[in-house]
Chain A
Amino acid sequence: MKTLLPAILAFALAPLRVLVVLVAAIVGVGHARAATPTVAELLAKIDTNMTYDTRESYITMRVTKADRVKEYKMHSYGRGQDEAAIEYLAPSRDEGTKMLKSKDELWMWLPSVEKTQKISGHMLRQGLMGSDMSYEDMMDAAKWQTMYSGVVSGEDSVDGRKCWKVELTATSADVSYPKRTIWVDESAYIPVKQELYALSGTLLKTWTMSDIRTVGNRQFPFKMTVVDEVQTGSMTELIFDSVTFAIPLQDEVFSTRWLER
C-alpha cells in the first residue's frame, strides 16, 4: 500500500501538474516577450552606466605578452565624450608621461624629451603603451546610442550572469569597431562581454567586464580584460583601483598647459 500511494497520487495530480506547467509557460513567455528590451533601451542603460560628465580614476593596467608581464599605474580624468587625460605614475621609466585627448587629437608629454607632441590619425588606433587597448578604447567615452544600431538576438549566460545578446552595427564609418556582439547583464546593464569585429567580420578583440559595483546611482565594472584575437598570447587587464564620477574638474586638466606642468 505504501508503495502504491505515491503512484496513485502522481496519477491523480498529473492533469493538475500539466495545467500548472502550461499556465507557467504561457505566463512566462508573455512575461519574457514583454521584458525583452529594445536595443535603444539597452544602449541607453549602458550609456547611463559607462559614460559620464566627469570622472576621475586610478587604474592599474597589466599587459601580458607571452611570458612577459608589464604593469602600469595611471591617474585618469575624463570630461564628457571628447576630453580625457592620463598621467602615468608607474613604472619609473614612464612616470610623468601624460596624454591628453581632445576630440580627435591626442597630445602626449614625454618627460624624456620634455616636449608636447601631437599624435593623430591612424596612431590613435594603435595599442596604448603596448597594450591591447587602443588610445581610442582607453580615452573614448562616446555614447553607444549615437554610434550603433542593432538587434537583440537572444538571451545567454556569461559567468553565471543572465545576459541579453545584442548584435550591433555602427551607424557611421568613423567608428573603431564596425561590428560588436555584446552580452548585456540583465540586471546591471553592463556589457560583460563584447566581441569586437572589423568590417570584414574578423574578430579583433574580446573584451570582458567584471567586478561590477555600485558607484553612486550607477553600476560600474572595476575590472576589464581585453584579449587580442589577432595577436595570440596577448592580454590586457584594466583594474580600477578607485573611480569617482560627477566631480568638479578644472579646465586646466584638459589643456596642454597641464601636460607641461
Chain B
Amino acid sequence: MLILSLALRNARRNTLRSLLTGGMIMFGVALLTCGMAWTKGAFGGILEKASNVMGPVRIVMPEFAKKEQLMPLEDNIADVGPILTAVKATPGVVGAWARIQMPVTLTVGDDIGEHFALVQGADPEWFQRAIDLEHHVTSGRMFKVDDDASGQCAGGHHGRPPIEAVLGVAAAEAVGAKLGDDLILDGQTQDGSISAVKVKIVGLSELGSSAQNKFVYVSLATLQCMADIPGGATEVLIYGKTLDDAGDVANALKANPAMAKFTISPWNDRPPFNSIAGIIGALATIAVGVIVFITALGVLNTMLMSVMERTAEIGVMRAMGIGRLQTVVLFVVEAMGIAALGGVAGATLGAVVAYYGLEVHGVNLGNAVNKMPPGLALDAVIHGDWEPYMFFQAFGLGLVMAIVGSALPAVRASRIEPVEAMRSRR
C-alpha cells in the first residue's frame, strides 16, 4: 500500500513528465487501435470478399488445379448434377453452385476487338451470394435465366428470346457498349474451337472494384453452351455457415469416396490466400511490435529521467529499509498508473478515430486498386472494422508498453546504493 501511494505521489509530483509519458502511451494505444481496426477491416474484408468469389471450398479436376491460371476449359467436371447433390447432402454445407469462368473478347461492331474480359457463368443465386450482384446493378436490372435462350448459344433471333447479361461498367466503357446493346462474346469451346454468343446487356454493374467491373455476368447454361460443356462446369463452389467452417467442410467432402477423383480445397489452401494470410499476420505482428517498442522507448526515456532526478530520494528510501524489489515495483507501478490513464484515453481516442474515420468514412485508395489481380478484387474505398475487444486489447498492450519501458529504469533505481546516492545530492 505504501509503495502504491508513493508511486501515485511520484506520478503527481512531476505533472509535465507524467503527462509526457501518458501522452506517449495514449498515442501508441490509439495507433494500435486504429491499426487493428484497419487490419481487420481491410485485409479481413478482402479475404472474405475474395474467398466468397473464389469459393470458401472448391471442387475442381486435378488438372484444372495445376494450371488454373490458364482457365483450362478442357479440364472440366463433365456432369456437375450428381456432384452438387452429394455436396449439398454433406454436413455443414449451406450452399453449392457450379461455375464456369473464361476469357472472351467483347465485340459491339464487326471486328473481333482487342477488348478482353472475363465472363462468369453461374446461377443468379450464386451471384447474389458471392458478390450481391443485383444490388450492384447501377442501371438496368439483373439478368434473368430463360430456359429457352440461355441453354443455347443463339438468342435474340428467329423468334428466340435474347440471352441476357450484366456487364461491368469498366468493360462497358472500354467496348463502348450501353444498356440494351447486343454484345458478342467471342471465346472458345473446350476443344479450342472458336465460339461466340450474342447477349443483350440488361444491366450495368458497379462493384467498386475495377477488376470486377471488367467482368461479364451470364447464366451457367449460356457458358455451358459457349464452352461446349453441356451439363458440366469447371468449378463447384461450396459455402459453409462461416468462412471458418471451410476446413471442416473440405475434410467432410474429402471423406466421401465419390469425391476421390477431384481436388477439394478450402480457400486458405489455395493461392493466393495460402501465402497472403501468413504475410498479413506477419505484417500485423511486426506493426504491433514496432508501435510497442517505440512507445516503450519513450516511456523508458521519461522514467530514466525520473530515476536520475530522484537518485538522492531513492537513496534515502533505500536507507530507510525499502528493498531492491520494492524499488523496482515502485517505478513499475508508477509507470503503469500513468499507462492506465494514457491507455484509457488512447483506446477511447483510437476507437473514435477507427470507428468514424476508418469504419464509417473509409479510406479511398483511388487508382491503386486497378493494379490488383482479379482474384484479389479490392473496393476503391477500404473500410476499417472496429470491435469493442480492440479497446481492451490496445489498453492491455499499453500496460505492456509501460512495463517494458519502465523495467530498465526501475532496475537501475534498485541498484542505487544509499550512501552513494546521498553523497551525489541529487
Q: Which of B2-10, B190-198, B324-332 contacts A (4 or more CB under 8 A)?
A: B190-198
Proximity bits, B182-196, A CB within 8 Å = 1, else 0? 001010110111111
A143 vs B231: C-alpha distance in the bound complex, in angstroms? 46
A65 contact from B74, B107, B157, B194, Cβ within 8 A: B74
Contacts of A123 in B (CB 8 A): 112
Complex CA gap A116/B112 in Å reads 10
A106-141: which have CB < 8 Å to B? 108, 110-120, 123, 127, 129-131
Contacts of B192 in A (CB 8 A): 63, 65, 127, 129-131
Interface residue SS majority, chain B:
loop
Interface centre among A63, A94, A115, A117 (most CB of B within 10 A): A117
Q: Is the pair A119, B191 in contact by a Cβ cutoff of 8 Å?
A: no
Give A111's nearest chain B residue, CB to CB: B154
- B157, closest chain A residue (CB): A114
A127 to B112, CA, bound (A): 16
Is A218 close to B, CB under 8 A? no
B177 to chain A, nearest CB (A): 15
Residues on the B chain within 8 Å of A112, using CB: 152-154, 195-198
Q: In the complex the two chains form, is A65's CB within 8 Å of B198's CB?
A: no
Say yes or no: B110 contacts A63, CB within 8 Å: no
For window 143-202 of chain B, which residues contact chain A by CB distance below 8 Å? Answer: 152-154, 157, 184, 186, 188-189, 191-198
- Chain A interface residue count: which class? 20 to 34
Task: Closest A residue to B184 by CB, please name it.
Answer: A113
A contact residues around B184 at 8 Å (CB): 113, 115, 117
- Judging by beta carbons under 8 Å apart, are A113 and B197 in contact? yes
B191 contact from A113, A117, A130, Cβ within 8 A:
A130
Cα A123 to Cα B110 in complex, Å, equals 15
Complex CA distance for A215 and B193, rounded to whole angstroms = 31
Complexed CA–CA distance, A119 and B112 (Å): 6
B interface vs A, CB < 8 Å?
74, 107, 110-112, 152-154, 157, 184, 186, 188-189, 191-198, 228
Give me 26 A-to-B residue pairs in the complex whose CB atoms sit less than 8 angstroms apart, sorted by A's number.
A65-B74, A68-B74, A70-B191, A93-B189, A93-B228, A97-B194, A108-B194, A110-B194, A112-B153, A112-B195, A112-B196, A112-B198, A113-B153, A113-B197, A114-B154, A115-B110, A115-B184, A115-B196, A115-B198, A117-B184, A117-B186, A118-B111, A123-B112, A129-B194, A130-B188, A130-B191
In the complex, besides A66-B74, A130-B193, 9 extra interface pairs with C-beta distance below 8 angstroms are A93-B228, A94-B193, A112-B153, A112-B195, A113-B153, A115-B198, A118-B110, A118-B111, A129-B193
Q: Which residues of A line the B interface, CB within 8 A?
A: 63, 65-66, 68, 70, 93-94, 97, 108, 110-120, 123, 127, 129-131
